[in-house]
Amino acid sequence: MHLKDKNVILGICGGIAAYKTCDIIRQLVKLQANVECILTKSGANFITSLTLQTLSKNKVHQNMFESIGTYDINHISLAKKADIVVIAPATADIIARLAVGRADDLLSCTVLTSKAKILICPAMNSDMLSHKAVCNNMETLKNYGYSFVMPESGELACGDYGSGRLAKVEDIVSFVIKQLN
C-alpha cells in the first residue's frame, strides 16, 4: 500500500493530542504521501513547527497572510493541492467554526475552499464532546459530507475517564489510505 503522489493537508489544532500528529505524519510519509501541515495558533502551544517540518519534510503553514515569495494565495493553493484534508486533533472550536462557515484563519479558510475529502478527528474532554452544541456541529459537518474518525475512550489529559482521546493513529491512517486508494 502506498500513497505516492497523494497530497495530505494535515491541520493541527490546540489540544494535548497534537503530539500524536507526529506519528500520523511519520506513517503517511512512510507510505510516500506528501504531507503539508497547517498549524493553528493554539496548536503551536502544544507542538512546534520545527518538529512538524522535520517529520513532513515540508514547510509548515501557520499564517494566512504570510508572504511566500511568489504570487500565491496560501489557502487557495493548499486547498487545490489537497487530495484529503485531515484535522487531528480537531477541537470543539474548529468544529464550531467550520459548522457555521467561519473563515478566520488559514486552516478554516483552506477547508472551506477545498473540494477534497475532509476528515475530522475530534479530541477533547468527554463532557465537551457530549455537549449538545458540539454534537449538533458535528452533525452539521457530516451533512456537509465531512467524515469523522471518532475519539476513543480512556483516561483523558485532565484525569477524567471517558470518550475524547484522539483515535488511534493506525485508524486515522487506515481511513486516509481507504479514501485515497
Helix runs in 6-124, H state only? 21-30, 49-56, 74-81, 92-99, 106-113
Which one is predicted more confidently, 75 or 157? 157
- Residue 144 CB contacts under 8 Å (≥ 6 apart), including other chains: none
Which one is predicted more confidently, 164 or 148? 148
pLDDT one-digit tens code per residue, 31-61:
999 999 999 999 999 999 999 999 999 999 9
Specify whether 158 is catalytic: yes
pLDDT one-digit tens code per residue, 53-82:
999 999 999 987 665 555 565 667 788 889
Q: Residues in the chain, how many?
A: 181
At residue 70, the pLDDT reads 57
- Provide the terminal-to-terminal Cα distance of the chain, rounded to the nearest Å: 9
- The Cα-based distances of 20 to 13, 85, 100 in angstroms read 12, 17, 27
Active-site position among 13, 37, 109, 158: 158
The whole-number average pLDDT for the span 102-119 is 95
At residue 156, the pLDDT reads 78
Residue ranges and CATH numbers for the domains of the chain are 7-180 (3.40.50.1950)
